[in-house]
Amino acid sequence: MRNILLFISLFLLSACMVTPNIQPSAKVDLTDLQPLPTPSISETPLRVAVAAVISPKGTVESYSGLVNYLGEKTGRPVELVQRRTYMEVNDLLETSEVDLAFVCTSAYIAGQRDFGMELLAAPQVDGGTVYYSYLIVPMESQVRSMAHLKGKVFALTDPISLTGRAYPTTLVTQLGATPETFFKRTFFTYSHDEAIYAVANGLADGAGVDSLIYDYALSRDPALSGKVKIIHISPSFGIPPVVVNPNLRPQIKIELQNLLLDMSNDPVGRDALTAIGVEKFVIINDSSYESVRSLLDGIPLLFGLP
């Protein structure tokens, strides 16, 4: 009798031991729905757009130093704005939704032509303000020129990218073909680092990429150097500039320009510059982009540019 009682109590005890201890930390009523409050903005922020040269997260990581520096120097909150395509950033500049933007060279040429996008400064890399388009293929590839890429898969970056689309298109045109018929298949990666990874991983047989991004990416991820190789380097192009929207107040424009030009003299500024792989910012003239302008004029239909 006593044994049975003992058995039963042990049984119940073991059952109790597995009882999960559920303690709700709060009580909410999910049926009580109320309108959301409109977010209050205390101060108009300085809005800085960065074209999707590299992936959105990479952009945030690289540019946060610069953003913080600008915020600290201007005393205004700075908002980093990103969009999927270059054209979207151009649209934001045209409608004055961003004040300052890091754009691609071709995007500047289109913006300057369409709504008078203004140059503010240019980054100096390796002592110059030029960059190139690299034609890259996987390391083990037998391809040695664009001609060998016929019937292969080609990764394009942005629809209006100079180094990622316009220059490779020029190369194909010179071979007497169009990308649509020359390649088996093309696709957009919307950023240069994604295009490098697409080639490194064998997703694409070749791609045209921004030399600045390529060098930067290889320095960040040395493993990449064993996976991709450059088979062709374009002539030099004017470096992607820093621009402002044409409606920005001149005082602010001057203030921002001075801030950027001064950055290399400030320790914090130098760190921020290093983070984006730039030595310093310099003044640049529109004439630096003439060669690009003429190249793009050769393939207007491709870009659908007005």
Of 9 and 181, the one with the shorter C-beta distance to other proteins is 9
Phi, psi torsion values for 291, nearest 5 degrees: -60, -40
287 burial type by CB count under 10 A (0-12 exposed, 13-18 middle, 19+ buried): exposed
Does 42 interact with other proteins (rule: CB under 8 A)? no
Does 20 interact with other proteins (rule: CB under 8 A)? yes
Does 13 interact with other proteins (rule: CB under 8 A)? no
The one among 3, 13, 24, 127 contacting other proteins by CB under 8 A: 24
Does 23 interact with other proteins (rule: CB under 8 A)? yes
Number of residues located near other proteins, criterion CB under 8 A: 37
In the block, tokens 């020359």 appear at: 182
Does 15 interact with other proteins (rule: CB under 8 A)? yes
The one among 19, 142, 251, 265 contacting other proteins by CB under 8 A: 19
Does 6 interact with other proteins (rule: CB under 8 A)? no
Q: Are 234 and 184 in contact (CB under 8 A)?
A: no
Q: Please enumerate in sequence order all residues whose Cβ is within 8 A of that of 76, keeping only pairs 6 or more positions apart, or say none.
A: 43, 44, 45, 46
Q: Are 174 and 165 in contact (CB under 8 A)?
A: no
Q: Are 175 and 206 in contact (CB under 8 A)?
A: no
Does 52 interact with other proteins (rule: CB under 8 A)? yes
- What phi-psi label fits residue 228: left (phi over 0), alpha (psi between -120 and 50 degrees) or beta? beta
Interface segment toward other proteins; rule CB under 8 A; list 27-35, 227-235, 243-251, 298-306: 27-35
Does 81 interact with other proteins (rule: CB under 8 A)? yes
The contact set with other proteins (CB under 8 A) reads: 1, 8, 11-12, 14-16, 18-20, 22-36, 39, 52, 55-57, 59-60, 64, 81-84
